[in-house]
Chain A
Amino acid sequence: GAGVSQTPSNKVTEKGKYVELRCDPISGHTALYWYRQSLGQGPEFLIYFQGTGAADDSGLPNDRFFAVRPEGSVSTLKIQRTERGDSAVYLCASSAEGFNNEQFFGPGTRLTVL
């Protein structure tokens, strides 16, 4: 596919469980971003990768959240010991290298923690 894809589209889990959310960026895009969008709010930045390394992880809310991008393409956002407050839509975006290149967003993963 030509766009950013995210899987799963929906994830329901129980409080305290571990979840992984996957993002496939546009082929060739070196920059990858994760955002979280709570109901009725705009997306909030979580973490930014340039290649394989996390260039900026200042948006991760706490140490239960972790993201990896081991080969500089696919990224996984991992949430440990989920809490009800983690329920949100998690958005992934990718862009070509360089400041201010357009970020292309995926459709998101809706996470519900019961």
Chain B
Amino acid sequence: AQSVTQLGSHVSVSEGALVLLRCNYSSSVPPYLFWYVQYPNQGLQLLLKYTTGATLVKGINGFEAEFKKSETSFHLTKPSAHMSDAAEYFCAVITSASKIIFGSGTRLSIRP
């Protein structure tokens, strides 16, 4: 069975600081991994995805994530946080049956 674990339900950083949101996955087959963002009262939006190929994936709004097979991780980073980055972030894996398994989410807060 496939699953994802997000470490830290809430992360708070200062504006301009590095953002690091942690995600570890479990999969018996090569995983397809995603990060989604959910702004208040809005739908989920895809930030980035890893399927095959380059392990460093760049997404929208300056976010990127690196697939590390040896660590079974897919951490999300952004060099410099902006106030508009405040949202809920979900790591996810897609199963062979095309359904997405989401982590429990990490709420990102940005301090002025």
Contact = CB atoms under 8 A, between A and B. Distances in A.
A94 B46 CA distance: 13
A54 to B, nearest CB: 12
A40 B90 CA distance: 11
Contacts of B96: 99
Interface string A42-76: 11110010000001100100000000000000000
Contact of B43 (A4, A33, A55, A56): A4
Contacts of B42: 107
A49 B102 CA distance: 19
A3 B42 CA distance: 12
Contacts, number: 58
Contacts of A41: 104-105
Nearest to B42: A107
Nearest to B107: A40
B45 A100 contact: no
A91 interface: yes
Contacts of B41: 107
A107 B98 contact: no
B105 A105 contact: no
Interface of B: 9, 32, 36, 41-46, 49, 51, 90, 92, 94, 96-105
Interface of A: 3-4, 31, 33, 35, 40-45, 48, 55-56, 59, 91, 93, 95, 99-100, 102-103, 105-108
